[in-house]
Chain A
Amino acid sequence: MTYLALDVILTGYLWMIMSKFNEKTLENLKKLCRIDCTPEEDKDILHSLGRVLEYVELLKEVDTTGVASCNYVLQSMLKNLMREDEIKDLLPREQFLSNAPDQIGGMIRVPPVIKGS
């Protein structure tokens, strides 16, 4: 009962937030995703995500009380996979670096990340 009540409150609260899916939410989301967009993309993405989030509201009507989350789809085949902790299938450094956009002295070059360095 308590769970149900909590669920209702929580869902109501979320609906309130979701109805506010706006430019600000999008800006925040872009930061979280480390993705920049053109203004045209912003407009389209805002519209599309609004539409899709509205649609997935559909799931609210499904009663999932006491239902377990699906973490692996083939329950009959579920088992732990262990192996020896040994080095194998190494990718040679030269081959690995061949795809790197910028490199120096056999390593990948990135801008300084520690201030003052």
Chain B
Amino acid sequence: MTNLHHLSAVELNKAFVQGDVTALQIAEYFLKRIENHNQQLGAFLSILGPRMILKAERLDLKRSQNKPLGKLAGVPVAIKDNMHIAGEITSCASKFLKNYRAPFDATAIRLLEQEDALITGKTNLDEFAMGSSNENSAYFNAHNPWDLECTPGGSSGGSAAAVAARLSLIGTGSDTGGSIRQPAGFCGIVGYKPTYGRVSRYGLVAFASSLDQIGPFATTVADVALTMEVIGRHCPHDSTSLDLPAESYSLNTTLADVKIGVPYRFLENLKPEARANFENNLHVLKSLGAKILNIDLDILKYSIAVYYILATAEASTNLARFDGIRYGIREKEAKTLDEIYEFSRKEGFGREVKKRIMLGTYVLSAGFQDAFYKKAQKVRTLVIDAFEAAFAECDAIAMPVAPSGAFPLQSINDPLEMYLQDIFTIPANLAGLPAISVPSGFDSRQMPLGLQLVGPQLCDVPLIQYAHAFEQATQFTRKIPPLFKGSAS
């Protein structure tokens, strides 16, 4: 078989199961693509070549013995480097953890490998998942496969770039304020943030625990659905993991009688190009039978303020564990315990991480907690209530993924302007809602744009069905960036 990277995960799995291709051929093919392209793309921080080959050989043996094969048998999967693979480095793109070897598998990883996925490597991210452009990686930038001068988005930029460039067919990400959906939108692929708690976070390095959620990247909605069937399971190791049976994701292609809410007033400042694309998307949804209605979500204009208080507050406590004592780097010059903390954190953390820890500590400090943290928690309640009221009228909410397509690297220097990039993705995290980013066209620079659909809590299955219907009615998924279309060799 040639051009394996033009296939979806579902198709490649089928080809493997039918015996059209061996797991070893798949592994060698994608490792070759990674070898050829990673330098220009910066998608992977580490490539797990020998491990992947070994797993592939075992998988071929399994098939030759006619043993039952997993749902993801033969599918190459890239893992964001803030999730543990036992024995491998989990760097979180931080100097602090450059030598840290994970002592156990994250639940999501265990589930993926239980279903015979082939892990290609660990992908680049903003340090500790803090950022919207992948520029906060302590190692190197990741680049957008559609234009190498542009950001792939962040924080899961490496996984998004890897999947968009077909260096892997599935990627994992973690989404605290849009870190799966925004890079998916920027790279022209599908990205899914499940309901809070749907995927276990055991083995994910925590950023903001009331917001973090693991989810997949893929080139089609069907591949996202397949991955969710595998990783969307209850896990006793994560107390926030939902104790619900795993769901089966059958896919529809109609939106008859589905009511889609649009918060028109909240979207009134959309720039012309993003607006035109969004209007086209609504037209597609209508043509599939959906009813579009105006909903009031004015409260969402406070989302970013709420988010940057709560997320940094939680990060400041979560990152207190990086003290230079038990793991991570320890500054050799340090003579006292305090110096170990201070010097190790000085050397180990990048600027954005320091900034957020300080902001989080500030908003939690005595005298300020009521004005910042508690106030933000109350406004978060209002955000949740507003969504609940909206979902009494509609089945899903449509918004753009981001205010524009991918921006050039190094083009945004103002911290606030960077934070405002997440205006449309943060609300779903604040309210624990499932939300999906689906390719919806291209801007005048030929950079991808994305449509975001947001569903009520726990309604992961219908949301993915709506996204599938939209995808099937458009021609924007499965487009491969021209630079990466060619075969491996």
Residues of A within 8 A of B (CB): 10-11, 14, 17, 25-26, 29-30, 32-38, 41, 44-45, 48-49, 51-53, 55-56, 58-60, 62, 64, 67-74, 76-77, 81, 83, 89, 91, 95-96, 98-102, 108, 110-111, 113
Q: Using Cβ atoms and an 8 Å threshold, which residues of chain A touch B378?
A: 62, 64, 67-70
Q: Which residues of B contact A73 (CB under 8 A)?
A: 196, 210, 380, 384, 430-432, 457
For B309, list chain A residues within 8 Å (CB).
56, 59
Task: Annotate B258-298 by CB proximity to A: 1 below 8 A, 0 otherwise.
Answer: 00000000000000000000000000000000000000000
- Assuming A10-B370, A52-B419, is B354 touching A62 (CB within 8 A)? no
Compute how far the CA of A33 lies from the CA of B362 in the bound complex, rounded to whole angstroms: 9
What are 26 A-B residue pairs whose CB atoms fall within 8 Å in the complex?
Answer: A11-B371, A32-B365, A33-B316, A33-B345, A33-B354, A33-B361, A34-B338, A34-B341, A35-B346, A36-B342, A37-B354, A38-B346, A48-B415, A49-B358, A52-B308, A56-B376, A58-B305, A59-B375, A60-B375, A64-B375, A68-B381, A73-B380, A76-B457, A76-B458, A100-B327, A101-B324
Asked if B14 is at the interface (CB within 8 A of a chain A CB), the reply is: no
Instruction: Determine the distance from Cα of A20 to Cα of B469 in the docked complex, in whole angstroms.
Output: 54
Give the complex CA separation of A33 and B192 in angstroms.
Answer: 34
Binary per-residue interface labels of chain B (399-429) against chain A in the complex, 1 for a CB within 8 Å, 0 otherwise:
0000000000000001110010000000000
Question: Does B377 lie within 8 Å of A71, measured CB to CB?
Answer: yes
Q: What separation, in Å, do the CA atoms of A54 and B337 have in the docked complex?
A: 35
With A99-B100, A99-B103 as contacts: A33 and B379 at CB distance below 8 Å: no
Q: Which chain B residues lie closer than 8 Å to A29 at the CB level?
A: 358, 361-362, 365
Alpha-carbon distance between A30 and B342 when the two chains are bound, in angstroms: 9
A111 and B101 in contact, given A10-B371, A58-B305, A73-B384 (Cβ under 8 angstroms): no
Say whether B414 contacts A51, CB under 8 Å: yes
Measured between beta carbons, the chain B residues less than 8 angstroms from A11 are: 371
Tell me the complex Cα distance, A68–B419, Å: 26
Shortest Cβ distance from A49 into B: residue? B359
Q: With contacts A30-B358, A101-B324, A102-B330 known, is A36 near B382, CB below 8 A?
A: no
Cross-chain contact A36 with B330 (CB below 8 angstroms): no
Decide: B354 and A17 in contact? CB cutoff 8 A: no
A110 adjacent to B337 (CB under 8 Å): yes
Task: Please give me the residue from chain A that is nearest to B211 by CB atom.
Answer: A73
Instruction: Give the residues in chain B near A52, CB-CB below 8 Å.
Output: 308, 359, 415-416, 419
Interface status of B473 (Cβ within 8 A of chain A): no
In the complex, B117 has a CB within 8 A of chain A: no
B-side contacts of A99, CB under 8 Å:
99-101, 103, 326-328
Closest to A14 in B: B371
Establish whether residues A96 and B382, one from each chain, have CB atoms under 8 Å apart when the complex forms: no
A79, closest chain B residue (CB):
B243
* Known pairs A11-B371, A29-B362, A30-B358 / 9 extra A-B pairs, C-beta < 8 Å: A29-B365, A33-B361, A35-B349, A37-B346, A55-B308, A74-B195, A89-B237, A99-B103, A111-B336
Whether A35 contacts B367 by the Cβ 8 Å rule is no
Asked if A69 contacts B384 (CB within 8 A), the reply is no
Write the chain B residue with the least CB distance to A66: B378
Do the beta carbons of B377 and A70 come within 8 Å of each other?
yes
Q: Who on chain B is nearest to A83 by CB? A: B236
Q: Is the CB of B362 within 8 A of A49?
A: yes
* Least Cβ–Cβ distance between A28 and chain B, in angstroms: 9
Q: How large is the interface on B (under 10, 10 to 19, 20 to 34, 35 or more residues)?
A: 35 or more
Would you list which residues of chain B between 429 and 462 have a CB under 8 Å from chain A?
Answer: 430-432, 457-458
Complex contacts, A34 vs chain B, CB 8 Å:
323, 338, 341-342, 345
- Residues facing A in B84-112 (CB within 8 A) are 99-101, 103-104
For the complex, is B372 an interface residue (Cβ under 8 Å from A)? yes
* B342 surroundings in chain A (CB, below 8 A): 34-36
Asked if B334 is at the interface of the complex by the 8 Å CB criterion, the answer is yes
Q: Which residues of B contact A37 (CB under 8 A)?
A: 346, 354
**Which residues of B (302-353) have their CB < 8 Å from a CB of A?**
302, 304-306, 308-309, 316, 323-330, 334-343, 345-346, 349, 351
Shortest Cβ distance from residue B166 to the other chain A in the assembled complex, whole angstroms: 34
Q: Give the residue of B325, B345, B370, B375 whose beta carbon is less than 8 angstroms from that of A35.
A: B345
What is the bound-complex CA distance between A98 and B458, given in angstroms? 40
Given A62-B379, A73-B432: A36 touches B345 (CB 8 Å cut-off): yes
Bound Cα distance A91, B431 (Å): 35
Question: B83 at interface (Cβ–Cβ under 8 A)?
Answer: no
Partner of A101, one of B305, B330, B351, B381: B330
Taking CB atoms, residues of chain A closer than 8 Å to B341 are: 34
Distance to closest chain B CB from A14 (angstroms): 5
Chain A proximity mask over B472-489: 1 for CB below 8 Å, otherwise 0: 000000000000000000
Nearest 3 Cβ contacts at the A-B interface: A101-B330, A73-B432, A36-B346
Q: How far is the CA of A70 from the CA of B379 in the complex (A)?
A: 8
B343 / chain A contacts, CB cutoff of 8 Å:
36
- State the CA gap A25–B358 with chains docked (Å): 11
How far, in whole Å, are A55 and B419 apart by their CA atoms in the complex? 11
Q: Does B357 contact A (CB under 8 A)?
A: yes
Q: For A71, what are the chain B residues with a Cβ–Cβ distance below 8 Å?
A: 377
Closest chain A CB from B81 CB (angstroms): 16
